[in-house]
Structure 1
């Protein structure tokens, strides 16, 4: 039993809801940034190195989610990969 389970017993369904909530919040957090860049074309504060590494990491998380058969991980990272890639492309295009 992991330490969290010892403190707060959680059902598998509750654990999936926690993962889904985390996925919605972290994935959704990229929408305002992508929209702002799309509208303003201002990308000066966006680091190419950071977004390149982040996008590669999200691609690996997506592969991990697919391999594990975890829908919250897979769907969240597919959407995040799309948004992060869009931000990276806009950063490279709108310099």
Structure 2
């Protein structure tokens, strides 16, 4: 009877050890998956931050280029002489006529 009882306890202990082993393997797999998910999320955030920084750099470069062009335009505008008034003499007026010219 003792041997039978001992065999039952050994079988229960083996089953418990097998369950504990499966649980430990599942926990380890879960931790590995969790770490992989955390790494993926960190990589995604880093990529988004890199894209935002690149967008900011491009916007800044565009703003600088626009400012440079505006500066050139203002310098060119200031270097032009003033337009003559309608009453000034020695001016030439061009008239655009939208008609075919025949010779």
Q: TM-score, normalised by structure 2?
A: 0.28
Greater relative contact order (Cα < 8 A, sep 6+): 1
Name the structure with the higher helix share: 1
